Amino acid sequence: MTGANRGLGLEFVRQYAAEGVHVHAACRNPDKADALNALAASSKGLVKVHAMNVADAASVTACAKALEGTALDIIINNAGIYGPKQQSAGDMDYAGWAETHAVNTMGPLRVAVAFKEHLKRSSTRKMVAITSQMGSIAQGGGRGFYAYRSSKTALNMVINLLANDWRDEGITTLAMHPGWVRTDMGGPQAPLSPEESVSGMRKVIAALTPAGSGTYLDYAGKPIAW
Ligand SMILES: NC(=O)c1ccc[n+]([C@@H]2O[C@H](COP(=O)([O-])OP(=O)(O)OC[C@H]3O[C@@H](n4cnc5c(N)ncnc54)[C@H](OP(=O)(O)O)[C@@H]3O)[C@@H](O)[C@H]2O)c1
């Protein structure tokens, strides 16, 4: 689990641990991850906290190395950023756009590759990326938020490609939209609570089979047009 210190990531950790599942919870700054550390402390050893910045190759490699030999059933690539304030056609922060792609698009691939051997130690082998409906081209009518939208559209392609490339190795991939959720990113006006979104996503992940690899679903399991 990446981005496990707040928002949807923290809620995933809370729900899985409550069911007795072992969770490797990665975040950028474990020293400042008070809520996650408290959860880990009360989890009877189920939750282990690790440092990992998904935009930093050395950090991802170090985390994968620290977990060498560990079987991971499911990888949830959750960490993401909304991107720079200026991200319209007429007013683009290009450095911020590049950073958005480094975190939202390249980060999940980097994590998937670094932890592929851990995944292959399990028979479950599910690789999930939390994308967004805002990355859908087929839904049409999109305006603005060029950095965020394009990073998620590209992430969707990464998930689709990994489904093709890794199918023969029994790895199942999924691009999942969590709904619009009340987190720091989603804001207070969002209709869904993290509890509702994550409990829905966990059901979708549990029901995922190899035949569904490379699909783009929302938190209720409804397919989204690419
Ligand atoms: N909330 C929504 O309505 C919504 C809708 C569609 C999609 N999503 C997607 O859902 C995912 C989770 O979003 P959220 O709502 O939980 O957002 P959030 O509350 O803003 O949390 C984002 C998480 O990502 C982490 N992160 C950011 N950059 C990182 C990096 N370079 N390396 C590692 N971790 C990093 C953050 O860590 P720090 O605390 O260190 O910054 C934080 O843990 C994202 O991929 C987002 O795009 C959310």
pLDDT (0 to 100) of residue 220: 98
Q: Encode pLDDT of 81-115 as tens digits.
A: 999 999 999 999 999 999 999 999 999 999 999 99
CA-proximal residue: ligand 1, atom 7 (nearest): 132
* Cα gap 170→47, rounded to integer Å: 26
Q: Are the CB atoms for 169 and 127 separated by under 8 Å?
A: no
Q: Give domain status of residue 71, yes or no.
A: yes
Domain count, the chain: 1
Question: In the prediction, which pLDDT does 52 show?
Answer: 98
Q: Which atom of ligand 1 is nearest to the CA of 184?
A: 19
Both tokens of 22, joined, read: 């072992």
Q: Answer yes or no: is 135 within a domain.
A: yes
Atom of ligand 1 nearest to the CA of 192: 3
**Is the per-residue pLDDT at 190 higher than 90?**
yes
Percent share of the chain, pLDDT over 90: 99
In angstroms, what is the span from residue 151 Cα to ligand 1's centroid?
13
Our answer on whether the CB atom of 190 is closer than 6 Å to any ligand 1 atom is yes
- The answer to whether the CB of 6 is under 6 A from ligand 1 is yes
Q: Is the distance from the beta carbon of residue 194 to the nearest atom of ligand 1 less than 6 Å?
A: no
* Rounded percentage of the chain residues whose pLDDT exceeds 70: 100
What angle, 0 to 180 degrees and rounded to 10, lies between the N-to-C axes of helices 7-18 and 34-41? 0
Domain, as residue range, for 111: 7-218
Q: Is residue 224 part of a domain?
A: no
Give the CA distances from residue 136 to residues 9, 58, 128, 145, 223, in Å, rounded to whole numbers and listed in that order.
22, 31, 17, 13, 11
Q: Residue 51 pLDDT > 90, yes or no?
A: yes
Say whether pLDDT at 140 is over 90. no
Please tell me whether residue 132 adopts helix, strand or coil conformation: coil
Question: Taken in order 70, 74, 164, 54, is the CA torsion positive or negative?
Answer: negative
Report helix, strand or coil for 223: strand
Instruction: Note the pLDDT of residue 2.
Output: 98
Q: Is the CB of 7 under 6 A from ligand 1?
A: yes
The answer to whether residue 225 sits within a structural domain is no
Ligand 1 pocket, 5 CB below 6 A? yes
Summarised one tens digit per residue, pLDDT across range 2-42 is 999 999 999 999 999 999 999 999 999 999 999 999 999 99
* Ligand 1 neighbourhood includes 28 CB (under 6 angstroms): yes
CATH number at residue 45: 3.40.50.720
Enter the tokens of residue 107.
Answer: 């980060």
Give the mean pLDDT of 64-70.
98
**127: pLDDT strictly greater than 90:** yes
Phi, psi of 16 (to 5 degrees): -65, -45
**Ligand 1 pocket test target in 115, 145, 183, 216 with most atoms within 8 Å of CB:** 183
- The answer to whether residue 223 sits within a structural domain is no
3 state DSSP class of 16: helix
Within-domain flag for 86? yes
Among candidate residues 5, 218, 168, 176, the one with its CA nearest the CA of residue 75: 176
Of residues 202, 85, 96, the one with CA closest to residue 144: 85
Task: Output 175 or 141, whichever has higher pLDDT.
Answer: 175
Task: Please tell me the distance from the alpha carbon of residue 193 to that of residue 200, in angstroms, as a whole number.
Answer: 11
Select from 2, 185, 216 the residue to mutate for testing ligand 1; criterion: most ligand atoms less than 8 Å from CB: 185
pTM: 0.98
Residue 142: per-residue pLDDT: 87
Ligand 1: nearest atom to the Cα of 134 = 6
Task: Find out whether the beta carbon of 186 lies less than 6 Å from any atom of ligand 1.
Answer: yes
